[in-house]
Structure 1
Amino acid sequence: MTRIPLPALAALAMLGLAALATPAAAQMPLGDSGLTLTVTPSLSTDYLFRGISQNRNRPTVQGTIDLQHDSGVYIGAFASNVSFPGSNARQELDLAAGYRFALGAATFDLGGIYYTYPGYDAAPGAFDYNYVEALAKASYTAGPVKFVGTAAYSPNFYFESGNAVYLEGGADVTLPGDFSLYGRLGYQWIERNPRYGAPDYANWSVAVSREVVAGITLTVGYYDTSLSKAECFAGTKLCDARAMVTLSRVF
């Protein structure tokens, strides 16, 4: 795999800033094809995956592309800069596909994701970062509250750590003044904990968001895990509690 050069990352950052500054626009129907393209650039103070920092508390530029057909079938991609202790991985690229549908007030998303790290060169005896995961998501809206749940399964999780299961539940609440409140609680089980670098753990978060200008949404949240520093990847701070600020824009 080819490493993405630093100039390309700089260009991605400038593209994200430019996109955030663009006047508001709706999601983009592609003619009469039945396809809708959604693009979401974001800038954040960190990148957290299930409560664990993927960028060592550093600013992160990210982008998501989603292409969905009227039938509910979709494909998508997510890209972000990353930084792990003792690793030359600098980018993450995730490829997704699945099917979305609604049953009454409930919506469902059944799909899968391939997590990749272009440019990462595993040292002799090291394990692969890439892995696949099947996901099932559901949500149910009742008035101002949307209840959400996620179940994920990987047959060979990150760092070749074997079977892994993740369950998460929470709620999104619409508040007065165009504010939204989000709460999540999740738990990650991993078959080969020593190889992964941490025991099974819980993670939780609470965040508030609001559109601030021209379709740009500001999100401020608090995130934490049940892992102590000693349990977190040989004594790192990747699992510590932290506040995170994100600016995002949906096209």
Structure 2
Amino acid sequence: MHRLALATLVGCTLLPLAAQAITLTDDLQLMLKPQVVSDYRSRGLSMSLGDPAAQLEATLLHSSGAYFGVWTSNVDFGLDLKTRLEQDFYAGYYKQFNDDVSLDLGYLKYTYAKEAQFNQSEVYAILKAHGFKFASYYSNDLKNFVGDDQDTLYTYIGYSHALPAETGLEVRYGRFDFKDDVFVSGSGSTRGDYHEWEARLTRSGFGLDWGLAYVDTDLSRNECASYYGYTDVCTATVVVSASKTF
């Protein structure tokens, strides 16, 4: 199954969100972020079969730049799979070099209740420079029908820009590469990677942070079904979100 890219949750967002966090001590802050989304999409794919999801993030931030947190969401993989809960644990170090450049290095552990075969870990690096983001996530313990311990590499480039009327624009283009050819087309050809992209508008209002995103991948319906079991979890969609940071 697909895994969550926490780039919008940790890493490059840590410094500005710290200003909204709850102060525990002189060196330690707690950030809480509940969110609801119309479809839980991760790297272009639906983790909730197109249904809404409720999510919660809790992150401890230290003045040194170190952080630790947990993120959770309801999920639905269908196919008689029992898991309905994803819990992700992460830890890392965030360094702000100046107003325009920062680096985030960390470790992620994804866990799925009642379906431990989907558990996976990743290490990641996210560089932010002058509005651009360059990120890479590597795993060597993904299990799939090809076999255990399949290397994967997810990379993306993103860009954020402030628009008029206090609206933000975020765009991302990513590539998810598997060690083996796991996607099979209708003609029988195979490949081991796919591309995904997202364009997202953000705006604050009524005490909440709102998002409107267009998400898509280059996987065909047959390729999607060959690995994920459904033809429509990889197709284009619009996702609406609402969140609040404490």
Name the TM tier (shorter chain).
Answer: 0.7 to 0.9
> Following TM superposition, by how much is the alpha carbon of 1:170 offset from its aligned partner in structure 2, in angstroms?
1.1
| Match among 39, 43, 65 for residue 36 of structure 2 | 43
Cα RMSD (Å) of the superposition?
1.9
Moved over 6 A (4+): 195-198
- In the other structure, the counterpart of 2:108 is 113
| Match among 114, 117, 123 for residue 134 of structure 1 | 123
| Match among 48, 59, 62 for residue 66 of structure 1 | 59
CA deviation vs aligned residue, 1:178-200 (integer Å, no higher than 9, x gap) = 10001000001001343999841
- In the other structure, the counterpart of 1:150 is 135
1:89 to 2:88 alignment: no
- In the other structure, the counterpart of 1:201 is 194
1:162 to 2:150 alignment: yes
CA deviation vs aligned residue, 1:107-160 (integer Å, no higher than 9, x gap) = 111001000001226xxxxxx10010000011123xxxx111110100122534
Instruction: Answer yes or no: is the 8 Å Cα contact 2:201–2:213 preserved in 1.
Output: yes
SS in 2 for 1:157: strand
SS in 2 for 1:233: helix
Paired with 1:195 and 1:233, the residues of 2 have a C-alpha distance of: 8
1:98 to 2:104 alignment: no
Residues paired across the two proteins, number? 215
1:233 to 2:218 alignment: no
> Following TM superposition, by how much is the alpha carbon of 1:88 offset from its aligned partner in structure 2, in angstroms?
1.2
| Match among 181, 205, 227 for residue 169 of structure 2 | 181
SS in 1 for 2:210: strand
Paired with 2:23 and 2:239, the residues of 1 have a C-alpha distance of: 33
1:192 to 2:180 alignment: yes
Paired with 2:225 and 2:108, the residues of 1 have a C-alpha distance of: 24
Report the structure, 1 or 2, having the larger strand content.
2
- Cα distance, 1:92–1:168 mapped onto 2, change above 3 Å: same
Paired with 1:115 and 1:195, the residues of 2 have a C-alpha distance of: 23
- In the other structure, the counterpart of 2:50 is 57
SS in 2 for 1:232: helix
Gaps of 5+ in 2: 1-18, 185-189
TM-score (normalised: structure 2): 0.83
CA deviation vs aligned residue, 1:205-229 (integer Å, no higher than 9, x gap) = 1010100112x01100100001000
Instruction: Answer yes or no: is the 8 Å Cα contact 2:183–2:224 preserved in 1.
Output: no
Which range moves more in the overlay, 229-238 or 129-138? Answer: 229-238
Paired with 1:84 and 1:120, the residues of 2 have a C-alpha distance of: 10
SS in 1 for 2:177: strand
> Following TM superposition, by how much is the alpha carbon of 1:239 offset from its aligned partner in structure 2, in angstroms?
0.3
Instruction: Answer yes or no: is the 8 Å Cα contact 1:161–1:193 preserved in 2.
Output: no
SS in 2 for 1:156: strand
Paired with 1:50 and 1:198, the residues of 2 have a C-alpha distance of: 17
> Following TM superposition, by how much is the alpha carbon of 1:75 offset from its aligned partner in structure 2, in angstroms?
0.3
